[in-house]
Amino acid sequence: MSAQTVNGIVYDSISTIENIKITNLSSKQMTASDVNGRFSIAGKIGDTLHVSSLFYNEQKLVLKDYHFHESVVIELKQILNNLDEVQLIEPYKETLADINVVESELKNQILTDIKNNPHLYSKQPTTGGIDIIQVIGLIAKLFKNKDKYVEPPFIEMTYEDLESLFEKSSLFNRRFLTQDLAIEEEYIPMFFEFIIKNELDSELLKKEKEVDLIELFVQKGKAFNNIIADYKNKQ
């Protein structure tokens, strides 16, 4: 059977939604909903349409005959913003024992042991005994020299860092910018400049920071689009 056109509209609990990706999994053809939530895509009976977005739960629709004779209405459920619940945990900082407390406790322990076992100790280390003051001093020195936690230096994220990220990452790509964040293609370089003006830590580029980086892009993307919209309205 030859392909026919399926027309439809996508909406959520509030209104119609744009930039929702619709993929025909059978033919691999893709399209996206327009500003009014409408879309058109070629398909055949039995093909499966996959409807997806970063911010909504995905849906799949197996095409039936009647789908080609009436407008397909697809309702998407918004994904709850779990990003707000993410708590950034302070880097682990090792708590070192107070050296004065350690020296005092150690001294008391050794003095107690001397009292209980006087034959094992001598005031003169040259005779083969143990110099208690020297022992305490050496142990105290070990504590003082113990490595302390050193916080990694702040390295600012650069424009080149963002370009490299969007060239190599499977998550952060052009589709993420233009469809999920709705950044127009011609304004992508300007959006990158807008991002790095915030003096961001390059630690956000690490794999384990992807959730934090997504939240950042979503927030900055909305702010950037508002600025562009205001600029266009004033022209």
Bridge partner list, 73 = 9
Bridge partner list, 177 = none
Query: Higher-confidence residue: 139 or 229?
Result: 229
pLDDT value, residue 204? 86
Look over the chain and give the mean of its residue pLDDT values, rounded to a whole number.
Answer: 80
DSSP string, 85-119: G--PPPPP---PPPHHHHHHHHHHHHHHHHHH-GG
CA–CA distance, 39 with 189 (Å, rounded to integer): 28
Looking at the predicted structure, is the pLDDT value of residue 86 above 80?
Answer: no
CA–CA distance, 66 with 10 (Å, rounded to integer): 18
Query: Higher-confidence residue: 180 or 110?
Result: 180
How is residue 31 annotated by DSSP? E
pLDDT value, residue 132? 59
Looking at the predicted structure, is the pLDDT value of residue 91 above 80?
Answer: no
pLDDT value, residue 105? 74
Strand boundaries in 109-164, DSSP class E: none
CA atoms within 13 A on the CB side of 151: 6
pLDDT above 70 covers a percentage of the chain that reads: 74
CA–CA distance, 62 with 64 (Å, rounded to integer): 7
pLDDT above 90 covers a percentage of the chain that reads: 31
Q: Are strands 4-11 and 72-75 parallel, antiparallel or unpaired?
A: parallel
> Quick one: how many helices (H) and strands (E) in the chain?
6, 7
Give residue 13's pLDDT band: very low, low, confident or very high (50, 70, 90).
confident
Closest CA to 9 of 71, 98, 56: 71
What residues contact 123, with CB distance under 8 A and at least 6 apart? 129
Instruction: Find the farthest-apart pair of alpha carbons in the chain and give their distance in angstroms, rounded.
Output: 106
pLDDT value, residue 85? 44
Query: Higher-confidence residue: 150 or 66?
Result: 66
In this prediction the pTM is 0.39
Lowest mean pLDDT among 94-98, 130-134, 162-166, 228-232: 94-98
Give me the amino acid identity at 105.
E
Query: Higher-confidence residue: 20 or 216?
Result: 20
Closest CA to 181 of 217, 229, 213: 217
Are 10 and 33 in contact by the 8 Å Cβ rule? The answer is: yes
Query: Higher-confidence residue: 177 or 140?
Result: 177
- Residue 35, classed as helix, strand or coil, is coil
Q: Is the dihedral of CA 161, 167, 173, 177 positive or negative?
A: positive
pLDDT value, residue 39? 96
* CB-CB neighbours of 51 under 10 Å: 22
